[in-house]
Each structure stands twice: as structure tokens, then as C-alpha cells.
Amino acid sequence: MVCTDIHSALAPVLARYDQDQVVFVVDENLRSSSVLSRYFIGISSVLLPVHESQKSLETVQRIWDFFFESNLTRRGLVVAVGGGVLTDLAGFAAATYKRGVDCLNIPTTLLAMTDASTGGKTGFNYRGLKNSIGLFAPPVETLIWPGWLETLPPQQFLSGYAEMLKTGLVDVRRDDVRCTKGDGLWEALLRYDLDTTPLDALAPLIEACVAAKERVVAADPHEDGLRKVLNFGHTFGHALEEIQMVNGKSSNGKWLHGYAVLYGMIAELYLSVVKLGCPKEPLQQLTRLMTDYYGRPQCKCSDRAALIALMQQDKKNERAAQINCTLIRSVGDPVINQVITPAEAGEALDYLFSL
Ligand SMILES: NC(=O)c1ccc[n+]([C@@H]2O[C@H](COP(=O)([O-])OP(=O)(O)OC[C@H]3O[C@@H](n4cnc5c(N)ncnc54)[C@H](O)[C@@H]3O)[C@@H](O)[C@H]2O)c1
């Protein structure tokens, strides 16, 4: 739920639990947040450094240790406050601790608000593969307060915006966007001017993205079919993210999750045009956003074969070594389970790197 006051939204949830059975797992970058400071007095809290490289078993163990040291029982509540890395980790730790305790998500990045904290996917990276260990464990609730975005660095904002654009491209209910009339989420997102439109105007778009994801997740909670539409851009996107882990590069700057997904969407829109006859307009619109705001992907030609190999190992594949993608026939008309040959994947990468 999107709220205008985080404290009044949080109070009734906390009231359902014994005070000594509530623990906070908080992104260390929010340490000085005046919004949170009141909860650091009297409630058990752990502050964690958050970075994709810390999305690991070691960090999960640290959270489990904190739960044990706080004498958390199965009747307790874990409040996860942070970006997608933190909510994925805390959600996994909560779901596996003593066979599961409740977890409340308070996402503080745009990406976590619109994507990571809804839908119940939790987990961590293992053996250089993104989110390769994890489980579905929906939070008891997700409280979205757009006020957190005031302090979010611009690149993090853009990273989240890329996932919103993805939702706009695959959203099948084009008549259900409260912020606009007559057209869909994609058009509303294109109209949002990233340079000048105030943050307040984003709240209805955040709500629309969350509602779109919730509809899909409700119809297919365990990704047996329909939910795969949300993976649009992620077959290429995850491989682009993983190549950094393999190459030992940091995920600062242009290599944030949403940036990788945006580049992945361009590759997958290219395949959508070539294989499914999708109109070129969304590809052109997204490419324009890339050049205006995100910059081109910095990849070496030598990464091409490694990227294809990574896509062949993707956990989303139905069969070993077969590349599986969601493509779109047009905006709002996604098609899941599209098998891509290594040659087609290479062609899409060549297109992306030629831009
Ligand atoms: N579970 C899912 O369904 C799902 C969906 C999409 C992405 N994800 C995961 O989400 C992760 C990416 O999440 P993210 O983009 O939020 O990154 P993140 O969690 O790394 O947060 C980005 C940075 O912003 C900082 N930060 C957080 N809130 C802030 C605020 N309000 N002000 C200033 N700084 C703040 C963090 O400390 C961090 O340095 C990836 O690991 C991805 O796999 C999960």
C-alpha cells in the first residue's frame, strides 16, 4: 500500500505483535534517517551494509544471528527497511528462520517500491549467479512511502524507473491506470519528465506499477506461467549483471540492476521486432530514454560468448542450455516461453552494443 505518512501506516501493524518480538533489519545508508531514529530506541535493530556484492549467504547468516541474539520467536515480526537487496535478504532470512516468521517490507528505493518488495520472491546470489538461492515468501504487508525517494541518488532512481518501464511494456490491463485517461501505463511513464516532473506526481505511477505486478502475481504466485511476463528484459539483463560479478567489477554506476534490465529490454525488444513483428516504436522510445538518461552499456566484444553462456544457465530456462525469454507482440501483449537460439541472442547483443 502507498501511504502518505509512514508512522501512521506502521503503527497498526506493529500493534499486532509483542514489542519485544519486533526486530528491524535496516539498510545502513538509512542510519541517519530521522524517520527511523525513533525505532532504533527500544526496538532491536541491525544495520546492514547494502550492496549487490553483499547479497550473499554470509549476510543471511548475519541476519539469522541477529534474530537468535534478539530471542525472536516464530510469533515475531521482521521489519525490512531498505532497497531490494535488503528486502530480498531479510525476507529470505525471515522465511527460513525457525521455519518462518512474518516479514513486513518498507522499501526505500524506487526499484524496491515498484518491484522487489511485492510478489514474495526472496533470496541471494550464489556461485556468481543472481538470486540462485531463494524461495517464495510473501511479506505480511508492504508499506510504500514515496518520501524516501528524496534522498535517493539519481542513478538509483533511474534504476527503479527502468523496472517501471518494464511493467509498462508488459502490463496487460491498459485501461486501468488511475493517473491517465484513455491510454496505458507505458504512455503515462513516457509522459513523466525525468528532468522536471516533481516526485509527488510519481505516486500514482508507483501505485499503478504495484497494482499491475500484484495482479500478475495473484494469478500466478509461483511463476508457473503468466508471471514470466515480469521477466521481460531479465534474460539479457541478468546475464549483463552477472558478467560484472564474473569479471569482478563493482555494480556501482551504470551497472545497477535496473540499468541491466533496461539494456536487456532493448535486446529483447529487438528480438520482439525480429521474431514477433512487434512495432519498432517502443524499441525507439526506450533507446531514446537510454541515450538521454542511462548511457550506453559498456561491454567488451569478448563478453559476448560469456553472456550467451550465462543466459544458457539462467534458472528461468525450462531446459538446460536453452535460452528462454519473454518477448512482446506489442505494448501490453507479452508472450512467455520464447526459445532463443545462441545465434539470435548474439544478434540481439550485437544490436545493443552497436547503439
Ligand atoms: N524480489 C524481487 O521480486 C525483485 C525484483 C526486482 C529486483 N530485485 C532485487 O533488488 C535488488 C536491487 O534493489 P535496489 O535497486 O533497491 O538496490 P539496493 O538495495 O542495492 O539499494 C540501492 C542503494 O540505495 C541505498 N538506499 C536505499 N534506500 C535509500 C534512500 N532512501 N536514500 C538513499 N539511499 C538509499 C542503498 O543503501 C544502496 O546503496 C537486486 O538484488 C535485485 O535482484 C528483487
Give residue-wise pLDDT tens across range 290-311. Answer: 999 999 887 776 789 999 999 9
Q: Can 6-151 and 154-354 be said to share one CATH topology?
A: no
Sign of CA dihedral 333, 338, 343, 348: positive
- Fold of domain 6-151: Rossmann fold (3.40.50)
Distance 53 CA to ligand 1 centre (A): 12
Q: Which of 257, 294, 314 to mutate to test the pocket of ligand 1 (most atoms within 8 A of CB)?
A: 257
Mean pLDDT for 209-226 is: 90
Query: Residue 251: pLDDT band by 50, 70, 90 thresholds?
Result: very low
Query: Residue 75: pLDDT band by 50, 70, 90 thresholds?
Result: very high
Mean pLDDT for 33-58 is: 84
Is pLDDT above 70 for 247? no
Highest mean pLDDT among 110-124, 161-175, 232-246, 312-326: 110-124
Q: Are 176 and 129 in contact (CB under 8 A)?
A: no
Structure confidence at residue 128 (pLDDT) = 80
Q: Are 264 and 243 in contact (CB under 8 A)?
A: no
For residue 144, what is the DSSP state? B
DSSP E strands, 161-233:
none
Query: Residue 52: pLDDT band by 50, 70, 90 thresholds?
Result: confident
Structure confidence at residue 246 (pLDDT) = 64
Q: Where are the domains of the chain?
A: 6-151, 154-354
Q: Report the mean per-residue pLDDT for the chain.
A: 90
Q: Which residues contact 76 (CB under 8 A, 6 or more apart)?
A: 17, 18, 21, 22, 23, 101, 102
For the record, the C-alpha cell of 206 comes out as 508507483
Query: Residue 345: pLDDT band by 50, 70, 90 thresholds?
Result: very high
Q: Is 257 in the pocket of ligand 1 (CB under 6 A)?
A: yes
Q: Each residue of 140-157: b (16+ CB within 10 Å) or e?
A: ebbbbbbebbeebeebbb
Q: Are 268 and 327 in contact (CB under 8 A)?
A: yes
CATH of 154-354, one of 2.40.50.140, 1.10.3720.10, 3.10.520.10, 1.20.1090.10: 1.20.1090.10
Give residue-wise pLDDT tens across range 147-182. Answer: 999 999 999 999 999 999 999 999 866 555 444 445
Specify which residues 335 forms β-bridges with: 327
Report how far residue 163's alpha carbon sits from residue 337's, in angstroms, rounded to the nearest whole number: 20
**What's the full length of the chain, in residues?**
355
Structure confidence at residue 245 (pLDDT) = 66
Report how far residue 30's alpha carbon sits from residue 251's, in angstroms, rounded to the nearest whole number: 19
Is pLDDT above 80 for 344? yes
Structure confidence at residue 255 (pLDDT) = 72
For residue 353, the Cα-to-chain-centroid distance in whole angstroms is 24
Is pLDDT above 70 for 219? yes
Q: Which residues contact 77 (CB under 8 A, 6 or more apart)?
A: 13, 14, 16, 17, 21, 22, 23, 101, 102, 103, 104, 140
Report how far residue 9's alpha carbon sits from residue 21's, in angstroms, rounded to the nearest whole number: 19
Structure confidence at residue 250 (pLDDT) = 46
Q: Which of 88, 105, 131 to mutate to test the pocket of ligand 1 (most atoms within 8 A of CB)?
A: 88
Report how far residue 253's alpha carbon sits from residue 256's, in angstroms, rounded to the nearest whole number: 6
Mean pLDDT for 190-205 is: 90
Distance 154 CA to ligand 1 centre (A): 13
